[in-house]
Amino acid sequence: MAHPQENTLLAKQITPTPMRLLVLDVLRRQAAALSLADVEQQLGHADRITMHRTLKTFTDRGLVHRVEGGSGAVKYALCDPACTPEHHQDLHAHFFCTRCRETSCLLAVAVPPISLPSTYQVQETSLVMKGLCERCAAAAETMQ
């Protein structure tokens, strides 16, 4: 019987490899979105190019979504299981904390629909808010 992580990959038509299983495990254990450098730090001396290709495959197959903004680095977070390569079901806002530098998915905050002229074709939508996360805001208040 396949391991649950393997089933997750197979459901997205991704061949389970040791690196893919490791990267998926790292993403599942983190509450915040992770950059390639974050994943690399978690895995130690793994091959950076293989990790990059793994994250690209995960993005292309609808397993993770890219989060741009805030830190200057692209970060990755797990998608809703209903996401497909063609359509992400989890169009939500993200929050970048300017103090701890973590990027969080705000699943309950939907990106509002935006009407564009019909001559434009949206390929990706991103909403990133910046400020202090709950933990850092609380720490700032106790210091005052």
124-144 tens-digit pLDDT: 777 889 999 999 998 877 876
Which pLDDT does position 90 carry in this prediction?
A: 64
pLDDT at 12 over 70: yes
> Exposure string (b/e) for 30-51, b if CB count within 10 Å is 16 or more?
bebbbbbebbbebbeebeeebb
- Amino acid, single-letter form, for residue 40: E
- Reported as a single tens digit per residue, the pLDDT across 88-110 is 666 788 899 999 988 888 888 88
Query: Is the model's pTM score more than 0.95?
Result: no
What is the chain's mean pLDDT, rounded? Answer: 86
